[in-house]
Amino acid sequence: MTDFQSAAGWQGRQFAQQCDFLLSSARYELRGRSVIAEIGVEIDQVAISPRGVEVWFEFKGSFQGDRPGLVRTDTMKKAIANGALLQGIEGHPPYVVLTSHLPLSGAGAAMLAAALRLGYFHDVVCVNDPDQVRRLGLL
C-alpha cells in the first residue's frame, strides 16, 4: 500500500468518526454500516433521526489534501453512482451525503447540481457549515 493510500484510509476513518459524533450530537440513533447487496452499495451509517425517520448516510471527506471531500470529481462520481443505484430500491430511506468540502465551481459543482435535480440525494450536507448541519434536524 502506498503512503497516499494509507493516509487516505486513515483520513476517511477519521472523517467517519467525526460524522458519527455529529450525528450522535444531533440525537440520531446510530445503527452502523450496511450493505445493500442487491445493488452492491455500502451505506456508511444507517441512523434513526430524532423524528423517528431511518436515514442512510454516506461520508465523503477529509481535512487534508488539495481536493478534499466532494471537490474530487472521482469521489463525487462514486456518491452519485450510489445515489443512482439506490433509485432501484423502491421506497428506500432518505440518502444523505455528509462531506467536508463541496465543489464551488466547475465539473464537480455541475455534477452535484444535476444529481440533486435528478433526486439521487435527499441532501448533501457540508459538516463545516452550521447552516447546512441544521438541516439534519429536519429529517
* Local mean pLDDT, 10-residue blocks, the chain (139 residues): 57 89 97 95 97 97 76 94 96 96 94 97 96 92
**Contact by Cβ (8 Å): 122, 96:** yes
pLDDT at position 76 is: 95
What single-letter amino acid sits at 101?
A: H
CA-to-CA dists, residue 12 to 5, 18, 23, 30, 76, angstroms: 10, 10, 16, 18, 15
Question: Under DSSP, is residue 124 helix (H, G, I), strand (E, B) or coil?
Answer: strand
Structural domains for the chain? 3-138 (3.40.1350)
